[in-house]
Chain A
Amino acid sequence: QSALTQPASVSGSPGQSITISCTGTSSDIGSYNQVSWYQHYPGKAPKLMIYEVTQRPSGVSNRFSGSKSGNTASLTISGLQAEDEADYYCCSYAGYNTFVIFGGGTRLTVL
């Protein structure tokens, strides 16, 4: 099963909002609400930001939100801050046998 498709990079200015898309298929994102998003600073452990499409773990800023339409999931970050500059990965359950697939990652640059 191929990786989920994310843009390689996105950028925005402080205070703006950005959206990162994650496109899968009817076998993964389109069939299950088990989409998650991770923030990853190089050299650090990834951090769960969104799970089950829209849910935020305790402690994650409400500037981060998730959504899904058809085979595409999205992560929106509002009120961009310099500390948001990181790599972001989407992830989806893809059914029995394949189980879990990640997107290729998106580098967010805060201008």
Chain B
Amino acid sequence: QLQLQESGPGLVKPSDTLSLSCTVSGGSLNSTSYYWGWIRQPPGKGLEWIGNIFYTGRTDYNPSLKSRVTMFVDTSKNLFSLRLSSVTAGDTAVYYCATSPGYCSRTTCYNLYYMDVWGKGTTVTVSS
């Protein structure tokens, strides 16, 4: 059974880059059946989709965060990562990694854009 576990610093300074990783167990990052994504929840607010990445490196990003977000996969370590640059207090949140199912036809792969497996989340605070 697929399981996800977030890791990374719990405290990041303003203007620095937030870096988180999500280790995958029970499945392979090379799978064509999953897209690997990040969602966050600021304190007292709702969920916000950050983006996702396919094993090929293809990414989809939330347009409001696109200029600051980078995602990548490390198939040798079976993990995928999130980097968010130039952080402010507004980036303080619980960050979740999650999978979205997908499928491939002969020529194209498709993301079904719902999140079926989630990590437990990790709290990141932006503060000096």
Chain A positions within 8 Å of B, measured between CB atoms, are 1, 3, 34, 36, 38, 40, 44-48, 51-52, 57, 89, 91, 93, 97-105
In the complex formed, the residue of A with least CB distance to B118 is: A45
Chain B residues contacting A105 (CB-CB under 8 Å) are 46-47
- Whether the pair B113, A102 counts as a contact (CB closer than 8 A) is no
Answer yes or no: B112 CB below 8 A from chain A CBs. yes
From B94, which residue of chain A is reached at the shortest CB distance? Answer: A43
Other 5 A-B pairs with CB < 8 A, given A34-B112, A91-B49, A105-B47:
A36-B113, A46-B96, A57-B116, A100-B62, A103-B46
Q: How many residues on the B side are at the interface (Cβ–Cβ under 8 A)?
A: 20
CA distance A62 to B30 in the complex (A): 33
B interface residues, Cβ below 8 angstroms from A:
39, 46-49, 51, 60-63, 96, 112-116, 118-121
Contacts of A38 in B (CB 8 A): 47, 115
Which A residue's beta carbon lies closest to that of B4? A45
How far is it, in angstroms, between the C-alpha of A64 and the C-alpha of B39 when the chains are bound? 24
